[in-house]
Structure 1
């Protein structure tokens, strides 16, 4: 089958959006489908100095990337709803997957191509966008509306016609992480941590408001026998937090690393931290705490280390306290300290959490996600994908 993923993502960049799109394209390609990723050729917002975009994301070059110039006369609706889909049609797609409302509108209403529209938040912010969304869900060319959490599905379900197929599909992780794991010794050697005797606690991701960096700083003050590694973030955020925590020798702000390097830090860890606050800021400043399905949660799970996370209800769709993670309210730092001490002292309990989370994550690979989506809309499964 010929699948075209049309995205408004910045590729290459540091955004979770771009990681998600690249991983899904690889997943479709790994199932045997011909995949084309169509993107705007953005003038800014792109990570500089990236020569191999596939290697940057740690994906195989099994799909084609087409970047389309952005005309100076561009309007959002005209470019994403008409021009970008029109160019994408040159690849003669059987199916389109998109996270762009304008693209979904153009494909279902103008060009009448079978389309899966995926949303990670409320898909409209004003009446005009709401009208576009209603046109999309009213089209018979919409094969499925995909949400990443049950919370988001419950929010949009009252808006849908009965015949709209609503699929809940959380984010995922590379199957390669499960098939070719790194040993802690190899991971630490790769990072220059072979002689480190302290327990290593790792956080990966952006440093936006609500990501829990202040809590990690507090933990470092209480647990001098732990080395805390904070991996990710924009340069300005990293610099600000480095200055704020300059007196803590057991806390390192590593800064941004390419997605392909993230596994080494996770495999080097004894424990992984996901201290989301009551509000979680995304790119652009929007609050995603109600509907988020963090990619890093599944990456954490895939390395089989104990996870300590906050008690956001949406995280509890996947994580279960005392079974495959420890879940603690964000605003109770002393309980976080006690949790890390417990994992340090009770090795059997910590190992049990790691084993269980590794079993649970197997259903959440990107390949399984892609195959499940295709099967639910009646398209060919893996064994029939390529004749």
Structure 2
């Protein structure tokens, strides 16, 4: 299968969405697809080579990458510390124009005249190719849209049209699928639920002992409670820090990840409250995150229900945690219960309750048998949530599923 994966993100970047897209392009290619990742040019970023980008994400350079001219750097958030002029709508208009020009080029080269899957998470990019497909009356060009949220998708008119007229929808959770069916009357047969995942290699490679990982990283904590990921509102970093206050300095609470500004803001809060057992590491390359996870006694996913995407999220860190073979404490959210079961492969705590989180952490730290049971069962469960398996399921759905 020939596949064009349309993105509007910066590569490389610290955001989880770029990790997910790179992993999926790699997995699609390994599953037999001929993949080209198409991304815009940003003036405020260096021109990284494909090998450099692949090395950053620790993915194999088994797919092509193409850059499109764009003015997105004028309207999308720039890299940390970079100042720029923000002009409303230029980003969307630029993406619309550049994607339209790219589609015209493909049409002239005859690429749209042969079987092709156009895959995207971006509304504008998918809409342009949907119009081209209809205009050219090409039934063998499949428009596949991966949905991660509902209310945040813009422009809404484009988004609603994509939901109804694309050939296939890939939803990251059952809750998101059910919401789309109910709100937009989309046929269930058109939707595949494919949760996010983790690398097959990460699931099956040997995990360093806690002691070995801590020596490598220079961590001297007696007990280590870890969070990895962004520090945006809704991620629950504030609850994680608040729970740390219930423990003495022998139990270190560490946060790995986050953009520079978010790390500085949280660091100020920690210092102002004189919380001595919290340490912020900041961003580390994706390939190094598993080493921090291996160093932990337990891993925390404190997602908040009051954030816009919480009802439908499929956090990458969840599957990374499960692959790390360390016990998990997570917020008790319906969407997380699609994967986790309290007392079986994780402990769930009352969402936004720092006291309940602290209680569950203390319970786990004092029960090595429970730690081992939860970690082992989570690892067994995650083996069906690899990027490779996800790619195979999506490709089979595109090729053999019911298409509209």
Q: TM-score, normalised by structure 2?
A: 0.84
Secondary structure of 2:206's match?
A: coil
Q: Say how many residue pairs are matched.
A: 368
The Cα offsets for residues 28-53 of structure 1, whole Å up to 9 and x where unpaired, read as 11113221101111224789999811
Q: Which residue of 2 aligns with 1:82?
A: 100
Shift in Å at residue 94 of structure 1?
Answer: 2.0
Q: Which residue of 2 aligns with 1:168?
A: 193
The Cα offsets for residues 342-387 of structure 1, whole Å up to 9 and x where unpaired, read as 111111111100000000001110000010111123359xxxxxxx
- Does the CA-based 8 Å contact 2:228-2:317 persist in structure 1? yes
Structure 1 residues 177 and 77: alpha-carbon distance in aligned structure 2, compared to 1, 3 A threshold:
closer
Q: Which residue of 1 aligns with 2:217?
A: 191
Shift in Å at residue 307 of structure 1?
Answer: 0.6
Shift in Å at residue 248 of structure 1?
Answer: 3.0
Q: Distance in 1 between matches of 2:47 and 2:348?
A: 34
Shift in Å at residue 160 of structure 1?
Answer: 3.7
Q: Distance in 2 between matches of 1:45 and 1:123?
A: 29
Structure 1 residues 42 and 63: alpha-carbon distance in aligned structure 2, compared to 1, 3 A threshold:
same
Shift in Å at residue 87 of structure 1?
Answer: 4.6
Shift in Å at residue 171 of structure 1?
Answer: 0.6
Secondary structure of 2:62's match?
A: coil
Structure 1 residues 100 and 164: alpha-carbon distance in aligned structure 2, compared to 1, 3 A threshold:
farther
The Cα offsets for residues 216-240 of structure 1, whole Å up to 9 and x where unpaired, read as 2222221123111101112122122
Mean CA deviation greater in 199-208 or 82-91: 82-91
Q: Aligned ranges for residues 94-113 of structure 1 at < 5 Å?
A: 94-111=116-133, 112=138, 113=141
- Does the CA-based 8 Å contact 2:3-2:33 persist in structure 1? yes
- Does the CA-based 8 Å contact 1:50-1:56 persist in structure 2? no
Q: Aligned ranges for residues 143-162 of structure 1 at < 5 Å?
A: 143-158=167-182, 159-162=184-187
Structure 1 residues 53 and 157: alpha-carbon distance in aligned structure 2, compared to 1, 3 A threshold:
same
Q: Distance in 1 between matches of 2:242 and 2:366?
A: 20
The Cα offsets for residues 232-262 of structure 1, whole Å up to 9 and x where unpaired, read as 1121221222222233332110011121211
Secondary structure of 2:313's match?
A: coil
Q: Aligned ranges for residues 251-290 of structure 1 at < 5 Å?
A: 251-280=278-307, 287-290=308-311
Secondary structure of 2:341's match?
A: coil
Structure 1 residues 70 and 251: alpha-carbon distance in aligned structure 2, compared to 1, 3 A threshold:
same
Q: Distance in 1 between matches of 2:152 and 2:300?
A: 32
Structure 1 residues 221 and 47: alpha-carbon distance in aligned structure 2, compared to 1, 3 A threshold:
farther
Q: Which residue of 2 aligns with 1:205?
A: 229
1:119 and 2:137 are equivalent in the alignment:
no
Q: Distance in 1 between matches of 2:47 and 2:325?
A: 30
- Does the CA-based 8 Å contact 1:99-1:119 persist in structure 2? yes
The Cα offsets for residues 179-230 of structure 1, whole Å up to 9 and x where unpaired, read as 213312332233122xx25111110111111222222222222112311110
Mean CA deviation greater in 65-74 or 179-188: 65-74
Structure 1, unpaired ranges of 5+: 281-286, 381-387
Structure 2, unpaired ranges of 5+: 73-89
- Does the CA-based 8 Å contact 1:7-1:38 persist in structure 2? yes
Which of 162, 173, 177 in structure 1 is aligned with 2:202? 177
Q: Which residue of 2 aligns with 1:346?
A: 367
Structure 1 residues 88 and 289: alpha-carbon distance in aligned structure 2, compared to 1, 3 A threshold:
farther
Shift in Å at residue 25 of structure 1?
Answer: 0.2
- Does the CA-based 8 Å contact 1:13-1:47 persist in structure 2? no
Q: Distance in 2 between matches of 1:96 and 1:46?
A: 27
- Does the CA-based 8 Å contact 2:57-2:286 persist in structure 1? yes
Structure 1 residues 45 and 296: alpha-carbon distance in aligned structure 2, compared to 1, 3 A threshold:
farther
Structure 1 residues 87 and 219: alpha-carbon distance in aligned structure 2, compared to 1, 3 A threshold:
farther
